[in-house]
Chain A
Amino acid sequence: MDEEFPYYLQNIANLGGHEDRAWHIAWNPTKSLLASCSADKSVKLFTYNHDGEGNLNFTLATSIPTGHLKTVRAVAWSPSGRTLATASFDSNIGIWEQELDDDGNPGEWECASLLEGHETECKSVAYSSSGNLLASCSRDKTVWVWEVQPDSDFECMGVLMEHTQDVKCVAWHPTEEILASGSYDDTIKLYVDDPMDDWFCCATLTGHASTVWSISWSPNGKYLASASDDKTVRIWRRIGEHEFKCVLVLEGHERSVYSVSWGIGKSNQEIDSSLGWIASASGDGVIRVWDLSENSSTEPMIPSAKLIARLPTAHGVHDINSVVWCPRKGHEDLLATSGDDGMVKVWRIQGT
């Protein structure tokens, strides 16, 4: 008999169509669209809406063949929701926008720009909260920061060569222009822009015993969560302008944790100490959700984490590659996952 958890994950949608593993998903921040990308070199966009009876229906809106020569490993939406970036093993970043037809209606998704420069596979891409900057990373050990300019022009602002091995993921702070990267070298690095000079690495977070696969900032920007091949999720607290300290290690997964996502959560929005919910997904096929809160009565700097939901075999026997909370207001209880079965699944977290 499973242990009792206060919440469970209800399966809302199972979206097939990809012909190979689905690596990554991204929720459009302004529109009802969910993007997924795959080793089949395509991106699929799913649209969702409420029917009359309180159900959320997901349908395939379009499949973009992309033209990437290899796996599409990651997708990211700009904050405006009008642009989509793709990161491919062919070493390029694609920038996609929807063309307007003669009547001004949105039509096909076209490649507005192709960012070349990485020497080997691109692993991740992300827009800053302002939408003015784009970061990309690769097995070539570098992180590139691009400035987004009008007419889909991109200017490279910096090539950061601080990691000693492949860079697996990049993630921007929710409000400030601070970039975090996770690497095969087991570290997390943080970068900021020096107005007089260049982008530089301002901090290195060590502690994980193996590759850092995924990073997610807390909604309030004071914490960072990282998922690692060492089967743990670590929580780092910002203790100075560019100083972070590991304050919590979340264990329980039995294989590499490939993805972590920190959402607002829904239970305690009135309570100041609530830090939100962390969802993690692993090669063990399990999705875990923790409720994080700051415990001001005891040690003020150490948050506490409580496991509130656990779903095994979310994608059957297959690895789960990505888990992401929906960022849109009114949908904070939605979670999307993608797996080696090529499926994209949507879950709603419900109280038991």
Chain B
Amino acid sequence: MSGEIFNPNPTVFRSSTKSHSPRRLLAAKKSLWINEYEPSQLVQVLDEDEEEAIDQDEIFDLIKNIYDPEHPNTLEELHVVSAPQIDIAENRVKVEFTPTVPHCGMSTLIGLSIRVRLIRSLPTRFKLDIVVKPGSHQSEHAVNKQLNDKERVAAALENPALVKTVEDCLTGRA
């Protein structure tokens, strides 16, 4: 990773302390990337057959505390993710995130971190689409294509250095 920081002075917003989630979700049983140091996520077994509705706030709760790769702030604090930018259909979740600057080179890493967090937490029936907010990035199409190419994502997650970087974003250790 180069030493250049893309956005040295991001705008930081105060995060909400209230958790909207009435129940917490279990890391997917067949998760490919089981992470042992996330005890707060292991609460209740969610049966595949239980098609309980999941709402925007629950998904937002899962991703709001992901850390930006370059700053000691969460995606919520930087307004990169927000509940209204999450769209849920029957078995599909679409998360739109807003990079802090239009040329943000960290966008693919942020998008990948969001995907990993959601794969581990949501029931497997959900198909995930992760995109940048339209108009917010100069390489919008290219970034979206990478983030949603299943093979590229799978290969990226077999790269130990990249996995470590993603883990750092998920746990806040930088």
Contact = CB atoms under 8 A, between A and B. Distances in A.
Tell whether A pairs with B.
yes
Interface string A35-63: 00001000000000000000000000000
B155 A20 contact: no
B154 A71 contact: yes
B145 A139 contact: no
Contact of B151 (A70, A123, A255, A318): A123
Interface string A51-88: 00000000000000000001101000000000000000
A319 B32 CA distance: 15
A: interface residue count bin: 20 to 34
B154 A39 contact: yes
A283 B127 contact: yes
B155 A89 contact: yes
A184 interface: yes
Contacts of A113: none
Given A70-B158, A71-B155, A319 B150 contact: yes
B: interface residue count bin: 10 to 19
Given A317-B91, A317-B124, A168 B151 contact: yes
B122 to A, nearest CB: 11
A98 interface: no
B36 interface: no
Nearest to A258: B150
Interface in B16-74: 32, 48
B149 interface: yes
B103 interface: no
Contacts of A139: 152, 155
A261 interface: no
A346 B80 CA distance: 45
A121 interface: yes
B145 A210 contact: yes
A252 B125 CA distance: 20
Contacts of A20: 32
A258 B151 CA distance: 10
Nearest to B126: A317
A166 interface: yes
B145 A318 contact: no
Interface in B111-149: 124-125, 127, 145, 149
Contacts of B48: 317
Given A71-B158, A317-B91, A166 B152 contact: yes
A255 B127 contact: yes
A139 B155 CA distance: 10
Contacts of B152: 139, 166
A211 interface: yes
Nearest to A256: B150
Contacts of B158: 70-71, 89
Contact of A184 (B125, B127, B149, B155): B149
B123 to A, nearest CB: 8
Contacts of A255: 127
Contact of A39 (B32, B91, B124, B149): B32
A114 B155 CA distance: 20
Contacts of B32: 20, 39
A1 B152 CA distance: 38
A211 B141 CA distance: 13
Contacts of A210: 145
Given A39-B32, A70-B158, A317 B125 contact: yes
Interface string A288-328: 00000000000000000000000000000111000000000
Contacts of A256: 150
Interface in A257-285: 258, 283
Interface string A92-131: 0000000000000000000000000000110100000000
A123 B127 CA distance: 23
Contacts of A317: 48, 91, 124-125
A49 to B, nearest CB: 32
Interface in B71-122: 91
B124 A318 contact: yes
Interface in A219-272: 229, 255-256, 258
Interface string A326-339: 00000000000000
Closest 4 CB pairs between A and B?
Answer: A317-B125, A70-B158, A121-B155, A89-B155
27 contacts: A20-B32, A39-B32, A39-B154, A70-B155, A71-B154, A71-B158, A89-B154, A89-B155, A89-B158, A120-B155, A121-B155, A123-B151, A139-B155, A166-B151, A166-B152, A168-B151, A184-B149, A210-B145, A211-B145, A255-B127, A256-B150, A258-B150, A317-B48, A317-B91, A317-B125, A318-B124, A319-B150
Interface of B: 32, 48, 91, 124-125, 127, 145, 149-152, 154-155, 158
